[in-house]
Structure 1
Amino acid sequence: MKFIHTADLHLDSPFLGLKNNVLPNDLWEKVHQSTFDSFQRIIDGAIEQQVDFVLLAGDLFDREERSVAADAFLISQLNRLKDHGIEAFISFGNHDYSTADPDSFGYPDNTQVFGNQVETKEYTLSDGEVIAVSGFSFDKQWITQPMIQDYPQAIGDVTWNIGMLHGSLSSLNSPEANYAPFTLSELQEKGYDYWALGHIHKRQALNDQKTINYSGNTQGRHINESGEKGYLLVQSDDKRLDTQFVPTAPIIWDRVTMSLGDLSSDQLVESILEKVADLHYSQLHFIRIELSSETAVDTDLLTRISNGDLLADLQDINADKWQQLNCWITSVEAPRVKNLVYSSIDQEYFNQAKTETLTDDVFDQILKDFSKQPSFIKDELSSAESKQEIFDQASTILQENVANSDPEGDNSK
């Protein structure tokens, strides 16, 4: 038996924040097409590897109201699988939830779509082995009940039992736990040979045998989804399953660290571009420049970073050189320094003010302001990575404001 486990395609993702007047049009086209290109490479891999079937574990589309183009593209790829005798199993997640009759989607007859209640579909492979795949599709954005309780125990008279589940560990102390929560022990107690999980965009195995896996998303969409993205190729060896990651994403998000040293603002732009050129990217990268410094940073430079002027200067040059560099600089992060001693405030008081200001309660209040925004915006803001990024940026602004508050060192204010 050989199959592909993939999830979180997010076809037609809007890539919020990237479409602007700075990004060159031809580069934007590559960005917009990237989710489609990655999925096409997955189907290419399924055909080349001659897999028996493909599991698509939720969030195939970025939104419930999928575009005509995205829907047509998915159908065309499913038809490619059909032409090569490869079965497809689909469950919809919290982004592309649906209550429609699966027969209304117009998918080819090699495609089996799970309904809104947990069900099991059996399929016989060419060698006579029988697989039983259990799963369900979201019928709404939020499913807080543990759907894992509805999954049946492993069937004894089939060769392989597989579970598909778009959801998250209930132990997570975050909004992620509002999506069909489960525990690892609940998965293991079902006795399945493999669990194909979706929803969490970081690729990871939840057990030592690597048979309970998040495949991650197929194309990173921002800096907190960095690194290679793709699919998991699973093959049987007697009764053991081996899992291999195969990259397919055309764009890689990454961080590049760089010491600020004694560079001036103008020198810094040139130095950053030289650093990027020396990396010799063979594949298109979208990167964040993370500056470091052992000492307090010049306030004028901090201002140029926080107000976006430094990034604007970089991107102005990057717009002409992105093809040569195979890279686009998306952001610049101000230096984090361990000790910031100012004439107007002691480091201890700065740290105390920072701790009291940047709290979980403050962050939760910020999230409430986005309650009426689309779900994908709330999802991204709710992640631990986004929270840390927001706090880091706020800390930089605090640092800048403190440094500028009293240049004469008057502590009476």
Structure 2
Amino acid sequence: MVQFIHSADLHLDSPFIGLKSMPEFIWQAIYRSTFDALSKLVDIAIEKEVDFVCLVGDIYDSDDRSVKAQAFFRNEMERLKNKNIPVYLTHGNHDYIGNQGLHLDMPENVIIFGENPETYWLTTKQDEKIALTGFSYTKRWITERKISDFPKKLRQADYHIGLLHGFSEGLESEHGKYAPFTLMELKSKQYNYWALGHIHKRQHLNMHPPIVYPGNTQGRNSKETGPKGCELVTITDTKEQIDFHSTAAIRWEKINLSIKGVVNLDTIYTTIQEQILSKKNTEYSLFISVTLKDTEMLLEGVRKKIIQGELLEALQQVAKEDYFVWVYQIEFATVNIENEQYLQLFPEEWQKALVEVEEEINFNELTNSFFDYTEISYLLSSRDSSYRQKIIERAKNQVKSLLTIEGSDEIEN
């Protein structure tokens, strides 16, 4: 039997751009979160007394890795060294191997794979021979099929593990299609386990042999929702067992909240507060986006306060504590506004505007200015069709809200 930790995409010292408008203690918590996730991973490895740890790419958030991140990582690796736990590490597209003169040396228990697929050997306490094959990126974009250079399972190995930071062809993902491979190519190698990295969503692509993306250890933005962590892998001659262990100090979640029949401000404020209290726990903090649906009865004055961010500001008045819930966004569910009476006044113009803005070229021209600002470009990293449609739907809903408010004001006057 062999037991090990499989993790990837730690992104230590991730900048979390665009999230500084919050209380200092919350900012500090989210800044520390990638570091805390690594410490939790090491705690798990030590507690379980694993044979080794696999870290499959993007240990750091950029090739210009900070000295702080490197020193922190080295200290955590020292903890594993003191317990005689080796670490097999590959670098990915974010932290590719660049100027070695700017890198801190790692403890001797950390084995770093080179530019081309190579194999390292480990003999466990049970005298089992483990072969581990992988490679590190030496540039940000690798389009070659590195999988072609991985050997077939070596006969002298009791277990053969593959480490591959890359893109599974046929997988729907916003991530770059680096070091591409197919499941058939992986299976043809006859390895006992494929430890993948690069895709931040946890996915088991195959069960026998296990081919696994563990996801990242800490969600870093609103797209990376739900539990984040690492895999505890146990393999014997007859079976494989994979157990997920959470490492994230902060989770991102989205809540769809029906406020059917709600009219006034106090009721909606109380309703959201009750949701917040129900989410609090003593294991991790939460960043929550609230989407309000069934809002037909809501007073337009209340709707206006939500659009202008007043309700959000009120909910963000939170006390300092170890485990908090932070509401970072409140929005209305998208609605079909094509049949609204006020749009019937200019149906041709409305449809023409929609057709024009939905075209990729026009959409990109309209949004290019946002991508020119480095402070927010990280949050706007994708302009594919699904992203484009989501933005357009939000804009349509905003138009509805604004026109309704203006119309109600005219009636009152």
Structure 1 length-normalised TM: 0.86
Rounded to whole Å, the distance in 2 between the matches of 1:365 and 1:232 is 43
Partner of 1:113: 112
Q: Quick check: 271-280 or 201-210, which moved more? A: 271-280
Partner of 2:269: 269
Structure 2 regions of 5+ residues with no counterpart?
Answer: none
Partner of 1:198: 197
Give the 3 Å change call, closer, same or farther, for CA 233–301 of structure 1 in structure 2.
same
CA contact (8 A) 1:295 1:337 kept: no
User: How big is the shift at 1:126?
Assistant: 2.0
User: How big is the shift at 1:51?
Assistant: 0.4
Where in structure 2 are the equivalents of 1:79-90 lying within 5 Å? 79-90=78-89
Partner of 2:327: 329
Where in structure 2 are the equivalents of 1:7-18 lying within 5 Å? 7-18=8-19
User: How big is the shift at 1:53?
Assistant: 0.5
Partner of 1:281: 281
Partner of 1:168: 167
Partner of 2:217: 218
Rounded to whole Å, the distance in 1 between the matches of 2:44 and 2:165 is 23
Rounded to whole Å, the distance in 2 between the matches of 1:139 and 1:378 is 26
CA contact (8 A) 2:174 2:382 kept: no
CA contact (8 A) 1:228 1:252 kept: yes
Rounded to whole Å, the distance in 2 between the matches of 1:267 and 1:152 is 64
Partner of 2:125: 126
CA contact (8 A) 1:306 1:396 kept: no
Where in structure 2 are the equivalents of 1:7-406 lying within 5 Å? 7-20=8-21, 23-100=22-99, 105-172=104-171, 176-209=175-208, 211-261=210-260, 262-282=262-282, 283-293=284-294, 295=296, 301-315=302-316, 317=317, 319-320=318-319, 323=321, 326-338=324-336, 341-346=339-344, 354=354, 357-361=357-361, 370=371, 377=378, 380-381=381-382, 389-401=390-402, 403=404
CA contact (8 A) 2:334 2:394 kept: no
User: How big is the shift at 1:267?
Assistant: 3.8
Give the 3 Å change call, closer, same or farther, for CA 71–408 of structure 1 in structure 2.
closer
User: How big is the shift at 1:115?
Assistant: 1.3
User: How big is the shift at 1:35?
Assistant: 0.9
Helix, strand or coil at the partner of 1:345: helix
Rounded to whole Å, the distance in 1 between the matches of 2:102 and 2:128 is 27
Rounded to whole Å, the distance in 2 between the matches of 1:144 and 1:366 is 31
User: How big is the shift at 1:17?
Assistant: 1.9
User: How big is the shift at 1:156?
Assistant: 1.7
- Structure 1, residues 67-86: CA drift from partner, whole Å, max 9, x if none? 11110011011111111111
Helix, strand or coil at the partner of 1:176: coil
CA contact (8 A) 1:252 1:286 kept: yes
Rounded to whole Å, the distance in 2 between the matches of 1:160 and 1:260 is 55
User: How big is the shift at 1:365?
Assistant: 5.4
- Structure 1, residues 357-397: CA drift from partner, whole Å, max 9, x if none? 33555556578663895998278435787556534433322
User: How big is the shift at 1:203?
Assistant: 0.7
Give the 3 Å change call, closer, same or farther, for CA 361–182 of structure 1 in structure 2.
farther
Rounded to whole Å, the distance in 2 between the matches of 1:169 and 1:296 is 47
Give the 3 Å change call, closer, same or farther, for CA 175–139 of structure 1 in structure 2.
farther
Rounded to whole Å, the distance in 1 between the matches of 2:322 and 2:339 is 42
Helix, strand or coil at the partner of 1:35: helix
- AA matched with 2:146: M
- AA matched with 2:140: Q
User: How big is the shift at 1:27?
Assistant: 1.8
Helix, strand or coil at the partner of 1:149: helix
Give the 3 Å change call, closer, same or farther, for CA 296–168 of structure 1 in structure 2.
farther
CA contact (8 A) 2:304 2:405 kept: no
CA contact (8 A) 1:216 1:229 kept: yes
Rounded to whole Å, the distance in 1 between the matches of 2:135 and 2:367 is 30
Rounded to whole Å, the distance in 1 between the matches of 2:241 and 2:285 is 30
User: How big is the shift at 1:170?
Assistant: 2.7
Helix, strand or coil at the partner of 1:72: helix
User: How big is the shift at 1:341?
Assistant: 4.2
CA contact (8 A) 2:256 2:290 kept: yes
Give the 3 Å change call, closer, same or farther, for CA 171–177 of structure 1 in structure 2.
farther
- Structure 1, residues 268-301: CA drift from partner, whole Å, max 9, x if none? 2233113322344333111111111164866555
- AA matched with 1:277: L
User: Structure 1 vs Structure 2: percent identity of aligned residues?
Assistant: 35
CA contact (8 A) 1:59 1:92 kept: yes
Q: RMSD value over aligned CA atoms?
A: 3.3
Q: Quick check: 251-260 or 106-115, which moved more? A: 251-260
User: How big is the shift at 1:183?
Assistant: 1.5
| Equivalent residues, number | 404
Helix, strand or coil at the partner of 2:315: helix
User: How big is the shift at 1:356?
Assistant: 5.7
